[in-house]
A and B are shown apart, each in its own frame.
Chain A
Amino acid sequence: MRLSDKIMILSLIFIFTASVSLAADIKIGVAEALTGPIAKYGVPIKNGFTLAVEEINAAGGINGNKIKLIIEDEQGKKEEAINVFKKFIFRDKVLAIFGPTLSNSAFAADPVANAGRTVVFGTSNTAEGITAIGPYVFRNSVAEADILPRVVSIAKKKLGIKKVAIMYGNDDSFTKSGYDVFKKAVEAENLQVVATETFSKGDIDFSAQITKIKGLNPDAIICSALVEEAANIILQARKLGIPASIHFIGGNGFNSSKLSEIAGKAAEGAISGSPWFLDDTNKKNQSFVKAYRKKFSSDPDQFAAQAYDALYIMAEAIKKVKFTGDLEKDRTSLRDELAKVKNFSGVGGKFSFNENRDAEQKGRVLIVKDKKFTIFSE
């Protein structure tokens, strides 16, 4: 045999093994913001996915098939998100897509996936109307509209609140939609709103708003803010003499270990609602937090936890798909199986999709005690 023949045969074998091993891979696209200002949300999400995939693959994959994540950066920009989605659907031929990080990008990119009949699974999109885009759009991020009303009603019952002041960031879709939900909840509970104050992302001085609120003597302060602003607001409120008996009530933005890190003792008694919290003692969560800390040497946040759960939910559905080799059919049968997921138990507790492919998950009301979130009410 001549050398050239050998090379030919060897390369054929190589291509053959490569294609065989490729065929056994289930490709899933992950489009998250990994650079830029949104990366602080996107990176933990990516970490959650990679951790779950490593565990699944180490345990032998799904029915023997390994999961392969194709991770792309969408920078938190809508055009980038559309480009990445199209690359996933038409070039990489993925089975399904996770992402994008922001609701804004999801409004732009999810219609592409829906038209391409490919499942898109959001783990951090909380805005209203995301899943209304189409039947291929799913999410396991609990919309604030589902959790915050419970937070308000339980706080009212337990603390005897009659009048509240509201503060919110009006230049961010996340905090603005949180405010909208709070406003409705407060109306539904017949609470009197003594003041509504706004601020912007990146503000560091809130004394004007707080001084005004202090003069009006509310029983509690509702605060729809991202964690940096929330912590600063609480800190400054306590410094300006608002007593600890006046609780702060917040949304998802409160739900980070940074709140106590920045605000320290001032954060004690802050109330929020979330399906997941770091110190939850359920077994799955304990092992998730341990593995995450070991691999990334930092604490997971809610976004990482939701991503981790999402991948296991997807794996549940993939397990039931009968692969035909026709990508379009497989994508559709994955959609059908995903819609049937019920009573999945993950790090955030029991989870089901409702008929709108939104998360049906009981949020828990939490309170900061000794610098940690504990359950205020189940």
Chain B
Amino acid sequence: MAERQESERLVKLLSQQGDVLVGRWIEGVSHTLRGRLSVLELDRELRELYSALVEGLRAGGPDWRGEGWSEVRALLTELSRNRARQGFSPTETATAVFALKELLVPDTDTSQQDFAAYLELNRLVDALGLFTVETYSKTREEIIGAQAEQLLELSTPVVKLWDGVVAVPLVGTLDSARTQVVMEKLLQTLVDTGSEQAIIDITGVPAVDTEVAQHLLKTVVAARLMGAECTISGIRPQIAQTIVALGIQFGDIVTKATLADALKHALRRIGTSPEAAAATVRGAR
């Protein structure tokens, strides 16, 4: 019952000079954002939030998880999601909520009743601030997850270099998940294009350790089982020396220093001389 009274008192305090308080709040928050968000936008956001907050207190009392607060929670979720997407820091995002505390700072003239109401506001703002940060980090995680997935797709194009020759330029870290995607794409492209030569280019792979090597070997063996020949290209000097020191054996797999060498080799294997191929290209121009 006492809490109910405090909520009512708080509603009164917050609505008495509503416009002045919102104005101060917006001003305080816009300082921390240093003009990276338009004043108009911030104004709209915070005004909406403020009236929802007062309404929430009036209807739902102090329980911010309750039905009466759904509007506030929805607005806060939207606010923190937007901030996360626009690249604001968690501090900048949460400060918008925490700045609410500054509006009703009690002084020596504050009555006992108002003081209790202020403490109530404090408790609420803390809870809402944490809610905001949580939503913020959830959004960030979603963004990171989506980016990781996009990278997985991005980094594994299979390109057709010539009739019967396809290539996969690998870039970045090669883990089990990516190898699986690469292998599937390569094998499917071999079938779709009827190619007999595949080139795996590792120029963009920063380090070849035993796991990467094992993944490469598996891909080559799988391609062989489908009747295609695989060449690994893009072996830079430092990678070559590291592979030797590690003791990895590539066996009878053809390896080349550059993609151009690998293409020449592949053309010869399918019975097209590289010179004739070059002439075809010139003729087509």
Asked if chains A and B come from one complex, the reply is no
State the B residues within 8 Å of A (CB). Answer: none
**A interface residue numbers (CB < 8 A to B):** none
